[in-house]
Amino acid sequence: MAVNENLAAAKAAGTELFNTAEKIFPDIKAEPGETAYTFMHTVPYEGSVGLVNLLTTTRVLRKGFKAHLVLYGPGVLMASGTRGFPKVGDEAFPGHMAINRQIQTFMDEGGTVYACRFASGALYGFPEDLLMEGVKPFHPLDVLDCALTAWRERAFQLNTWTL
């Protein structure tokens, strides 16, 4: 009986169910000149991975890294500047514009966003002028050269693929 009562009390708003004070690893901050690259080949809104990685990339930026977000394959669709319903920018339901808002937050705080021209045009018929303001289109061969640049810089890299 006591177990059931404790479980019922756990549903009360404000009940702390987890120890959020204990942190196992040190809170790493960037050292001067350190960079980070997040490569995302993911379909927007087909799961949480896109938004979670945008949040993580923003967190890396806030830790002081010079941060870059590289969108390729279906990832370019995340930076659509024409998302909304019934009008561009309208949120059809709560959270509908979360990806655009997070990309904008990332750029507003100093992050750089790149989107592959090949994926935009050849795969999705998505002209680069429909990308969000501030997103930099790049040549498809730059995907590899960007990864090699990150490697040469000894940068932190986060790579995400979804199909």
Confidence at residue 12, expressed as pLDDT on a 0 to 100 scale: 82
pLDDT, tens digit (0-9, with 9 covering 90-100), for 108-136: 999 999 999 999 999 999 999 999 999 99
Tokens at residue 108, please? 């507003």
Burial level of 119, CB count in 10 A (0-12/13-18/19+)? buried
Confidence at residue 1, expressed as pLDDT on a 0 to 100 scale: 43
User: Rounded to an integer, what distance in angstroms lies between the CA atom of residue 58 and that of residue 116?
Assistant: 20
136-156: average pLDDT: 96
- The closest of 73, 88, 84, 82 to 43, measured between CA atoms, is 73
5 has a pLDDT exceeding 80: no
- What the chain holds in terms of domains, given with CATH numbers, is 32-161 (3.40.1260.10)
Indicate the pTM of the whole model: 0.89
Q: DSSP string spanning 35-46?
A: EEEEEEE--TTS
Please say whether the beta carbons of 114 and 69 come within 8 A.
Answer: yes
pLDDT, tens digit (0-9, with 9 covering 90-100), for 9-66: 777 888 888 888 999 999 999 999 999 999 999 988 888 889 999 999 999 999 999 9
pLDDT, tens digit (0-9, with 9 covering 90-100), for 81-112: 999 999 999 999 999 999 999 999 999 999 99
